[in-house]
């Protein structure tokens, strides 16, 4: 055998997005790029904002001596200070640069946090529908995932269901708002209710239970909404995020984790996280990107463009009879599958050159995901194909 049995089985269990991507490539070869409507990947087609290229040029023309060397494993002080300043606006206690660790994307930050806190066999609650990598990340560090459904109609937090799942082995709950795949934003009252419940369980079980708030879509909120900050709602909370989506830089692997200044033993937590960033082999987040994002903490891609794409698809699909929650942010829609079997529905859509991911890929059979971070032109041209899909699905 070449690779481990475990990795082999992980590859098989996580194959949906990859499979659809490969089939899309085949369809494009047969029908041509402009005839295939690929809604499978959360890979923004937008370019980074102009300010990113301006900073990049400025740095290239005026390189700072030593800027490509090894550094403190937590990252550059100036970058962490810039991040801390922005986070402080949503935190009852000011966040300091010492409470921030720069990471290789949100995925890197999640792995660092999980390695920092998990003892073997401890449980991490994930909320269905969920970003599928959570399961693998938790497993990477010897943890066990426990799946709890959000409300099946609204995809909002079901605090009572989370409470029922907490036991003596629970170490963390991962929340993700705006959510991948549903686009739902959790309101402040829900996060406060979560925080109150967790504090009560921590007392009862005499252990820290962390809320890990995975927020790469936090700046992609529509209709003038603000995504509530977790630090004001949950004491033992950590933000993990990146600039993969808000600055359209997923390939650059730049993100960070930040601990709530109010957290128990916050200094020890950060010391652990810095160590884990090092020994996971990341060592530190990419130096050049740290220099750039330090200057871009108040810059984002054009959110209006995503909102317009949401509106085009949401309005067209609901008029056709598809049933879905209107997303408050991010760049995904997660409609109910009109066929009971979501995989069969995805196959049906594929016949009309529309590529989707079945809900089964997010722990939520019976739904399907549309990633609309693609060119508006492709979205508009796909509408006729959606009409045919709706007809064939009996809507």
Whether 46 and 302 have beta carbons less than 8 Å apart is answered as yes
3-state secondary structure 234-255: CCCEEEEEECCCCCCCHHHCCE
Backbone angles phi, psi at 169, to 5 degrees: -105, 5
- Kindly list the distances between the CA atom of residue 2 and the CA atoms of 6, 8, 9, in Å, as whole numbers in the listed order: 12, 10, 13
User: Which member of 44, 75, 107, 129 binds ligand PLP (CB under 6 A)?
Assistant: 107
- Is residue 145 at the binding interface for ligand PLP, with CB under 6 A as the rule? no
Shortest approach of ligand PLP to residue 14 CB, angstroms? Answer: 13
- Is residue 250 at the binding interface for ligand PLP, with CB under 6 A as the rule? yes
Scan residues 180-209 and list those touching ligand PLP (CB under 6 A).
180
**Cβ-based nearer residue to ligand PLP, 73 or 241:** 241
Find residue 146's DSSP bridge partners.
Answer: 125
User: Which member of 255, 286, 338, 358 binds ligand PLP (CB under 6 A)?
Assistant: 255
**8 contacts: CB under 8 Å, gap ≥ 6:** none
Shortest approach of ligand PLP to residue 65 CB, angstroms? Answer: 29
- Kindly list the distances between the CA atom of residue 369 and the CA atoms of 162, 354, 360, 364, in Å, as whole numbers in the listed order: 24, 12, 10, 10
Find residue 102's DSSP bridge partners.
Answer: 256
Q: Which of 2-10, 147-155, 242-250, 350-358 is the region at the interface with ligand PLP (rule: CB under 6 A)?
A: 242-250
Locate tokens 């909370």: which residue?
237
- Is residue 363 at the binding interface for ligand PLP, with CB under 6 A as the rule? no
Scan residues 151-170 and list those touching ligand PLP (CB under 6 A).
none
Shortest approach of ligand PLP to residue 70 CB, angstroms? Answer: 22
**Cβ-based nearer residue to ligand PLP, 37 or 137:** 137
User: Which member of 76, 131, 345, 368 binds ligand PLP (CB under 6 A)?
Assistant: 131
- Is residue 106 at the binding interface for ligand PLP, with CB under 6 A as the rule? yes
- Is residue 328 at the binding interface for ligand PLP, with CB under 6 A as the rule? no
Q: Which of 14-22, 101-109, 280-288, 377-385 is the region at the interface with ligand PLP (rule: CB under 6 A)?
A: 101-109
User: Angle CA(341)–CA(394)–CA(151) in degrees, nearest 5?
Assistant: 50
Tell me the residue number closest to ligand PLP, measured at CB: 105
Scan residues 206-235 and list those touching ligand PLP (CB under 6 A).
214, 216
Q: What is the spatial distance between Cα 203 and Cα 42, in angstroms, rounded to a whole number?
A: 39
**Cβ-based nearer residue to ligand PLP, 107 or 195:** 107
Whether 180 and 330 have beta carbons less than 8 Å apart is answered as yes
What letter would DSSP give residue 151?
-
Binding region for ligand PLP (CB under 6 A): 42, 105-107, 131, 176, 180, 214, 216, 242, 244, 250, 255
């Amino acid at each position: 055998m070449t690779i481990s049995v475990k990795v082999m089985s992980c590859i098989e269990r996580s194959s949906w997005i990859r499979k659809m991507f490969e089939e899309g490539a085949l369809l494009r070869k047969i029908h041509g790029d402009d005839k295939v409507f690929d809604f499978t990947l959360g890979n923004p087609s937008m370019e980074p904002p102009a300010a990113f290229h301006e900073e990049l040029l400025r740095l290239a023309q005026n390189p700072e001596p030593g800027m490509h060397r090894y550094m403190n494993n937590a990252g550059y002080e100036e970058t962490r200070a810039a991040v801390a300043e922005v986070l402080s606006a949503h935190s009852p206690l000011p966040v300091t640069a010492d409470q921030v660790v720069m990471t290789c994307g949100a995925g890197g930050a999640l792995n660092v946090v999980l390695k920092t806190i998990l003892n073997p066999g401890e449980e991490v609650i994930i909320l269905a529908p969920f970003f599928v990598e959570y399961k693998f990340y938790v497993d990477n560090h010897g943890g066990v995932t426990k799946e709890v459904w959000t409300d099946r109609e609204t995809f909002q937090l079901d605090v009572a269901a989370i409470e029922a799942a907490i036991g003596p082995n629970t170490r963390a709950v991962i929340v993700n708002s705006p959510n991948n795949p549903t686009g739902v934003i959790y309101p402040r009252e829900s996060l406060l209710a979560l925080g109150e419940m967790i504090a009560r369980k921590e007392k009862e079980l005499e252990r820290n239970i962390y809320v890990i708030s995975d927020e790469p879509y936090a700046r992609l909120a529509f209709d003038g909404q603000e995504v509530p900050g977790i630090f004001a709602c949950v004491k033992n909370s950590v933000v993990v995020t990146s600039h993969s989506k808000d600055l359209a830089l997923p390939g650059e692997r730049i993100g960070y984790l930040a601990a709530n200044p109010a957290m128990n033993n916050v200094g020890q937590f950060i010391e652990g996280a810095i160590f884990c960033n090092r020994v996971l082999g990341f060592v530190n987040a990419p130096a050049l990107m740290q220099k750039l994002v330090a200057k871009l903490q108040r810059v984002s891609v054009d959110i209006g463009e995503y909102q317009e794409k949401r509106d085009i698809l949401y309005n067209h699909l609901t008029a056709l009879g598809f049933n879905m929650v209107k997303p408050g942010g991010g760049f995904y829609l997660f409609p109910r599958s009109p066929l009971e079997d979501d995989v069969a529905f995805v196959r049906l859509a594929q016949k009309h050159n529309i590529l989707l991911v079945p809900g089964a890929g997010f722990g939520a059979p019976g739904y399907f995901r549309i990633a609309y971070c693609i060119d508006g032109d492709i979205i508009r041209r796909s509408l006729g194909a959606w009409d045919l899909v709706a007809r064939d699905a009996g809507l």
